[in-house]
Amino acid sequence: MSDNPIQLTASQITSAEELLASKDSEISSLRQQLIDGENSFNALADEHNKLAAALSEKEAELARIKQGLDSESRHRLEQAVAYEQLKAEMAMKCEQLAVKEASLYKRLMELQTDSSRTESTFGQTSLRNIPKIPSFDGQPISFNRWIFGVDELFTNYPGLIDFQKRILVVDSLKGDARSWYDAEPDGNIDIWDNLRQSLSKQFGGTESLSMALDKVYSMRLTDKSDFNSFIQQVRPAIKIVTGDNSKLAIVMLRKQIDTSIRKYLPEIANETFEQFEQRLKAQVNEIQSKPARVPVDRQYSMEIDPVVAAIKSEDTAPINAAQYSSQFNSRFYPATPRFNSHQYRNPFQRNTKPHSRENTTMTKAQFEEYVRNSQCYNCGQKGHLRSSITKPPRSTRFMNPILSESLDDGKDKEQ
């Protein structure tokens, strides 16, 4: 190298410095890019390692699953083989069982044939030795004694079978009882217990519907009847016929009540039989507690029917048609009354006080029912009483027929 100095200008030096600076910055940028590339590579390498590890785990798990499936397949195959073997054994056992069952049925048929022959012989022998059941013609009054004898007979002969009991009983049925038996459904007479129950229901005391109806229709409640005795006899019979139907029970009971009591018992909707019974008891007690209006001693009394006649009021004095003449009283009642004089009062004379809500002994419902069924003495219409209107009474009155004849005779003599 020569020792001659190189002459550089300032501009060249400046450009060289700038070029050096640009190269340094470029080198720094490339170095940074290289560092970033290395970091990205390292991250991708880590991710690759993780995926490789996960793939290894999945492959190991898949291998385990394949191994489990292989073992399960082998187990299922073993079970199928065992099932086929068991099926073959069961078929062989069923065949053996069928053979044994056939032999058993054959033996049972032989035993049944032998037992039927023995029972037939025994039955013929026993029926000849037992007494004959007395005949029953369907009269309910003799049913209890008859069925007691039948039960006692069967108790003393316990060897009788069900068929023999029914034969003996049916042979003793006569008349209405045999007619009932012929018409009874087979389900009610197929065995002795059913036949006995049907007989008791038809002919046995209070269990018979026909006897219950006869009992109800034979009873009658009047104002002189003993209520307790009546209801104790009629209540069980009505319950047998109607069961739990209170409406039907009340209707049947009302039919057996006398009109003098029934008119004070209006119908009430949704009333139970027990409530109606309490109302009836209270009404009977109220009627029976009132003093009797009939004379105690009527040996001298006579029945006189009322005669309707029109009397015109003129110059003569007013005539009370309900009065007796002195001749009539002296003719038919010469003796002194034994008791108070009110016992021989005029039968045509009515109470002078008007019947109204204030002076009645009825309840409000009973009085309203009484008004609806009553007929007015003034206008003759139903639905109200004479005390509720202000019209004057008609001139028609009840007149003593003997007194009217005496008045007519007096008028003829004056003419």
Distance separating alpha carbons of residues 163 and 190, to the nearest angstrom: 9
pLDDT tier at 282 (50, 70, 90 boundaries)? very high
- Contact by Cβ (8 Å): 306, 398: yes
Query: Which has more confidence, 360 or 40?
Result: 40
- Domain segments of the chain as ranges: 14-113, 140-204, 209-287
The region that residue 243 occupies, defined by phi over 0 for left and psi between -120 and 50 for alpha, beta otherwise, is left
* Coil vs helix vs strand at 163: helix
Q: Is the pLDDT score of 337 beyond 70?
A: no
Is pTM beyond 0.95 here?
Answer: no
Residues 321, 323, 328: CA angle, nearest 5 degrees: 115
**Residue holding tokens 């970091």?**
39
Say how far residue 220 (Cα) sits from the centre of its chain.
Answer: 29
Q: What is the average pLDDT value for the chain, to the nearest integer?
A: 77
In whole angstroms, what is the distance from residue 267 CA to residue 274 CA? 14
Q: Which two tokens stand for residue 253?
A: 């009971």
Checking if the pLDDT of 190 tops 50, the result is yes
Residue 21 vs residues 31, 32, 33, 53, 131: alpha-carbon distances, Å: 15, 17, 18, 48, 151
pLDDT of residue 275 exceeding 90, the answer is yes
